[in-house]
Amino acid sequence: MLGTGILKGMVETARNFVGSYTDEARLTTVEYPEERIPLKEATRQFPFLVFDGDDAQKGMRCVACQICEKECPPQCIFIVKSKDKRTDYKGQLQFYPATFDIDISVCMSCQICVEVCPFESIKMDTEFELSNTDRFGALLLNKHQLAKSNEHYREIHPTDAAESDAVIAAEKAKAEAKAKADIEAKAKAAAEAKAKAELPAATVPVPPASGQV
Ligand code: SF4
Ligand code: SF4
C-alpha cells in the first residue's frame, strides 16, 4: 500500500525518540558538570610527579635524570638538577629536581615521558578541567603543582599503580639485601683482620739469623 514505508519509518522514529528519554542504555549524555561519567582507567591527560609519604617534595621519586626531558617530542619538560643529594626510597643518595616544569599547553599527552622514566616517577593524570584565561603562566606547571601522591595514582590507575608498587617493592628488597650483604662482608673482613692481629707471636714464623743455614 502506498505510504506504508513512510508510516513504518515514522513509527520507528517515534519509538527511538521515546526510547532516547526512557531507555537507560540509550541515555548517552549526562547533565555535566553536575553529573559525571566515571573515567575509564586508561584515561590520560597530562603527566604528574609521584611522591611517597606525607611530604610532596621530600618524597618525590624523581631523581632529575632528565631522560624524560630529552625524550619528550615537543620538548615541553624543563628540569634543573639539584646541587646536593638526598636519600631516595631505596636508601640511596640521589639528586632531585630543583626545578621541574611542564608546559601543558604544548604537551601532547603521548606518555613517552612515562614510558622512559626508570624510577616510576612520572605518570599520566586524568584531570581535564584545566582551561584557563592565562595561556602562558597558568599552563606552565611547576614541581609543586605537578606533585601528586601515590595514593592518587592508585585511585586513578589501580592496575598500573599495583605494577608500579611491585617494581618498587622488588627494587627496595634488592637494595636492602645488597646493603645487608655489604654489612656482613665488612663485619667478616673486620673479624678476620682482628683475629690475624691477635695471633700469638710464637705462631709467627721466625726468619733464620744471617749466616745460619
Ligand atoms: S606526555 Fe609526551 S608531550 Fe607530554 S610531557 Fe610527556 S613526553 Fe612530553
Ligand atoms: S621523571 Fe623520571 S625520567 Fe624524568 S627526570 Fe625524573 S626520574 Fe628522570
How much distance in Å is there from the Cα of 171 to the middle of ligand 2? 17
Structure pTM?
A: 0.79
Ligand nearest to the CA of 72: 1
135 CB-near residues (< 8 Å, 6+ apart): 105
Provide the CATH topology of domain 47-166.
Alpha-Beta Plaits (3.30.70)
The pairing of strands 97-103 and 140-141 is antiparallel
Q: By the 8 A CB rule, do 59 and 52 touch?
A: yes
Question: CA-CA-CA-CA torsion for 174, 95, 51, 38, nearest 10 degrees?
Answer: -100
Query: What is the residue extent of each domain of the chain?
Result: 47-166
Q: Which atom of ligand 1 is nearest to the CA of 111?
A: 1
Which residue, judged by its Cα, is nearest atom 3 of ligand 2? 117
CA pair distance 97, 100, nearest whole angstrom: 6
Best residue for ligand 2 mutational test, from 67, 116, 167 (most atoms within 8 Å of Cβ): 67
Backbone angles phi, psi at 141, to 5 degrees: -90, 135
Chain-centre distance for alpha carbon 15:
50
Bond before 33 cis per omega within 30 degrees: yes
For every one of its 213 residues, what pLDDT tens digit does the chain have, with 9 covering 90 and above?
Answer: 668 999 999 999 999 889 888 887 777 788 899 999 899 999 999 999 999 999 999 999 999 999 999 999 999 999 999 999 998 877 789 999 999 999 999 999 999 999 999 999 999 999 999 988 988 889 999 999 999 999 999 999 999 999 999 999 999 899 889 989 999 999 999 999 989 888 776 555 556 655 444
Q: What is the pLDDT of residue 155?
A: 96
Q: Which bound ligand lies closest to the C-alpha atom of 113? A: 1
Q: Are 148 and 59 in contact (CB under 8 A)?
A: no
Side chain identity at residue 84, one-letter code: D
Which protein residue's CA is at the shortest distance from atom 4 of ligand 2?
Answer: 68
* Sheet containing 97-103: order of strands: 77-81, 97-103, 140-141
CA dist., res. 213 & res. 183, Å (int): 48
Residue 152: helix, strand or coil by DSSP?
A: helix
Q: Is the CB of 141 under 6 A from ligand 2?
A: no
Q: Report the nearest atom of ligand 1 relative to the CA of 112.
A: 7
Q: Check pocket membership of 122 for ligand 2, CB cut-off 6 A.
A: yes
Predicted confidence at residue 209, as pLDDT, reads 56
